[in-house]
Amino acid sequence: MNPSATDQFSTLMATAASIGARTETAMRSDLETALTDCDPLLVEVLHYALFNGGKRIRPLLTVLCSRCCGRDDHRLYLLAAAFEYLHVATLAHDDVIDRADQRRGRPSVAARFGTTAAILAGDWLHARSMHLIGRLAGPDGLETFCTATTAMVNGEFAQLRHIADLNTTQHHYFAVIRQKTSNLIASACSIGALYAGADTRQRDALTTYGDRIGAAFQVVDDLLDFKGEAGTIGKKTGNDFIEGKMTLPLLLALDKASSEQRQTMKTLLEGDRSQIEALTRLHNLIEDLDGFNEAARIAHQLIDAALEALAIFSFEEHELKNADQLKELARFILARKK
């Protein structure tokens, strides 16, 4: 990194910390209002679920996109909080579905408080997020938000259907990650723009930006699941393989595989995926077939497309300044090691 890149990164980190803190303040204040006279266990579960050292990336996007379009006021942080509520609701339900004991290095909500509490707390956060979106971003915002949440469920179903399925196509892969991840990232951007009263061109640009970084985020996640080291990645490496997820490096390798290599991969995918030897063999095959490099190239292309979408924000000072931060965030997604 040259000094200027380091500076940009430091600026982004400082902004992220500040927006994260303001979002957390908004969440605490909202919970206080919404949970008046509520059951103490519900209060405890929600606080446990929400205040866990999360990176608050979705709120960061909402705030930066609104600022980029010229609006920044205290209600913006409550709007941003709605995206964190939804995200945490999703995690609470995911951990029940995946029977995951750990989340961010401590017991998951399901492990700590039980399945019932995790499902119900997820439902509470889900309802509250839509309440806030409807109130702060109006019918248009609610439409965007709910479309993204229903699509997310569809993406989960579509993924289930293709577990360990060698016939999964790249088209299908991108359709699923769009539904599962990018749509909601894009909606955090789009609704931030909507809140600021952005015109269609601005809103579309930020939606594209969100869509592309969301997809890149997922591709990098796929890579980290193979490449990361325990302690760095925060969850056990090889998880996706164990679950039979058809990740991008794997799909790209399959595209280039000889029929013999394809047969080997099929055997590995349909065998006991919990064996470290199986993971290592698959890893080496993907490496040989350039699957990791190719996936990294695609992530790069997605980030380039995200940066390009921001080109229209180049006139006013607030546009330039906030678009720069969004660009830096996109580059960070590409460079992240965990």
Among 28, 75, 161, 338, binds a second copy (CB under 8 A): 161
103 forms beta bridges with: 106
Indicate which single residue of 88, 91, 96, 333 sits in contact with a second copy (rule: CB under 8 A): 96
6 to 45: interface string for a second copy, x by CB under 8 A: ----------------------------xx--xx-xx--x
> Smallest distance from the beta carbon of 63 to a second copy, in angstroms?
22
Q: How far apart are CA 181 and CA 289, in angstroms?
A: 27
Q: CB nearer to a second copy: give 152 or 307.
A: 152
3-state DSSP call for residue 263?
helix
3-state helix, strand, coil in the chain (%, to 5): 80, 0, 20
List the one residue from 58, 126, 245, 327 that touches a second copy (CB under 8 A): 126
Would you count residue 135 as binding a second copy (CB under 8 A)? yes
- Under DSSP, is residue 107 helix (H, G, I), strand (E, B) or coil? strand
Question: Residue 16 or residue 188: which is nearer to a second copy going by CB?
Answer: 188
How is residue 42 written in tokens? Answer: 């519900």
The correct pick among 150, 232, 280, 284 for binding a second copy (CB under 8 A) is: 150
Chain mean position to CA 184: 8
Candidates 121, 198, 205, 248; binder of a second copy (CB under 8 A) is: 121
Contact present, 77 and 25 (Cβ < 8 Å) = yes
Q: Interface with a second copy includes 217 (CB under 8 A)? A: no
Site size with a second copy, rule: CB under 8 A: 41
Total Cβ atoms within 10 A of residue 20: 21
For residues 136 and 191, what is the distance between their CA atoms, to the nearest angstrom? 10
Residues 6+ apart with CB under 8 A from 248: 170, 173, 219, 222, 291, 295, 298
**Considering the rule CB under 8 A, would residue 143 count as an interface residue with a second copy?**
yes
Is residue 100 at the binding interface for a second copy, with CB under 8 A as the rule? no
Q: Does 318 bind a second copy (CB under 8 A)?
A: no
Cβ closest to a second copy, residue 96 vs residue 286: 96
Determine if 300 is a binding residue for a second copy (CB under 8 A): no
Taking contact as CB under 8 A, which single stretch among the options 15-23, 119-127, 236-244, 324-332 is the one that binds a second copy?
A: 119-127
Q: Under the criterion CB under 8 A, does residue 153 sit at the interface with a second copy? A: yes
Task: Count Cβ atoms below 10 Å from residue 272 Cβ, excluding itself.
Answer: 9
Cα Dmax for the chain: 65
Of 128, 180, 203, 327, the one binding a second copy by CB under 8 A: 128
Provide the minimum distance between the beta carbon of 47 and a second copy in the complex, in angstroms, as a whole number: 13
Candidate residues 102, 147, 232, 267; the one interacting with a second copy per rule CB under 8 A: 147
What is the distance between the alpha carbons of residues 252 and 254, in angstroms, rounded to a whole number? 5
115 counts as binding a second copy under rule CB under 8 A: yes
∠ Cα 65 68 70 (to 5°): 115
Report how far apart the first and last C-alpha atoms of the chain are (Å, whole number). 18
Check binding of 157 to a second copy (CB under 8 A): yes
